[in-house]
Structure 1
Amino acid sequence: MDIEPLADACGGLAWISGELFEVEGRLAAGSSDGELLDARLRALLARSSRRHGQHAQWWRAALPDSPALAGFDRVRPPTDAWVRLLDHIVESAPAGAVAALFEVALPQLIFVLEHLSYELSPVSDGNAIRIVAMVTTDLTEEESEAKQVWPMPKIPSSADLEALLIAFSDDYREKRWPPLLPHPRRTG
């Protein structure tokens, strides 16, 4: 992958991870509106929040340090779909926020990382490959644990979540974010 699209990918992933760190941390700490989440779910959110904080640091460290590439200026929302999703999570009651996290954010982030991994070259992108592998392992574990503590529907649990998923589909179809470039499927 060329350095500028890779920098945009790292910046976007740093932004997403930082936002997830904050919202999951708030949800784990409890709610001021009276709705309290299950203790097992709060423990999962606390652990996931810490991991997202670490991921954000890894992605920021992977940004180019050349002034010409303005690496830290690339830490920004990668698409409007991610902004809408994080806004929805922040504005929702705790149960709705958790549904959006587990039904939309987590699967979409895993999808982006899988897609990004196809674009990375072992010759020039070794650091990014390691970060993708570590983050994917953490997210896959989170997804598995989430299924144990949160009832995961096979379809979105609300029309709002379905609309958010459709926004991501539009992003992928129009290839709005550098990791979403078309790629040949690996075999073997």
Structure 2
Amino acid sequence: MDIEQLADACGGLAWISERLFEVEGRLATGSSEGELLDARTRVLLARSSRRHGQHAQWWRAALPDSPALAGADRVRPPTDAWARLLGHMEDAAPVGAVAALCEVALPQLTLVIEHFGQELSPVSDGAVIRTARMVAADLAEERYDLKEVWNSPDVPSDGALEELAERFADNYRKKRWPPLVTH
């Protein structure tokens, strides 16, 4: 993975982390319209929101500081699938947003981090490898804790989440992001 591909990957991961920080924070505070989530779910979302905020800072810190590479400009939606998923989560009622988080966002982000880590070189990418490992550990804990409080259906009844998940499968077949990652 060259420096530009690494910058694109870190920028995309920063964007995802920032959006999850915002969405989970909104869900945790109950400041959205619609049904309220139970207290335990909101506490877990608040903790996860803070962690995603920290992850965003780590990914931004991994961006190159060279003006020629324009690291800050690389913080953007990495794919259309991620943009649509986070848009769906921002617009959905709390229960729908948590379903999207549990059924699509966290599994997909875990998969991206796992495959991204395999593309990194311990010689030149040590700091990014460490960041990826810490983020992966936090994601594993988040997924485990949310499974205990969230009983989501295997197949969403409205089909919206299924369609969003299919977009990720298409991205993987075309190897769009992170760069050069084979899924």
After the TM superposition, which residues 98-109 of structure 1 pair with which residues of structure 2 at under 5 Å, given as runs? 98-109=98-109
State the alpha-carbon separation in 2 of the partners of residues 179 and 141 from structure 1. Answer: 26
Distance 1:144 1:116, change over 3 A: same
Q: In the alignment, is residue 153 of structure 1 matched against residue 163 of structure 2?
A: no
Contact 1:115 1:179 in 2 (8 A): no
Amino acid at match of 1:169: A
Distance 1:16 1:22, change over 3 A: same
Q: Which residue does the alignment assign to 1:33? A: 33
Q: In the alignment, is residue 133 of structure 1 matched against residue 133 of structure 2?
A: yes
Q: Structure 1 residues 79-88 or 155-164, which shifts more?
A: 155-164
State the alpha-carbon separation in 2 of the partners of residues 118 and 179 from structure 1. Answer: 12
Distance 1:172 1:39, change over 3 A: same
Give TM-score scaled by structure 1 length.
Answer: 0.93
Distance 1:157 1:138, change over 3 A: farther
State the alpha-carbon separation in 2 of the partners of residues 39 and 142 from structure 1. Answer: 16
Contact 1:37 1:95 in 2 (8 A): yes
Give TM-score scaled by structure 2 length.
Answer: 0.96
State the alpha-carbon separation in 2 of the partners of residues 153 and 179 from structure 1. Answer: 32
Q: Which runs of 5+ in 1 are unaligned?
A: 184-188
Contact 2:172 2:182 in 1 (8 A): no
Contact 2:34 2:94 in 1 (8 A): no
Q: Which runs of 5+ in 2 are unaligned?
A: none
Q: What RMSD, in angstroms, separates the aligned Cα atoms of the two structures?
A: 1.3
Q: Which residue does the alignment assign to 1:186? A: none
Q: Deviation above 3 Å: which 4+ runs of structure 1?
A: 152-158
* Residue correspondences, number: 183
Map Cα deviations across residues 129-187 of structure 1 (whole Å, 9 max, x no partner). 0000000000000000011010143444540000000000011111111345238xxxx
Amino acid at match of 1:85: L
What percentage of aligned pairs have identical amino acids?
72
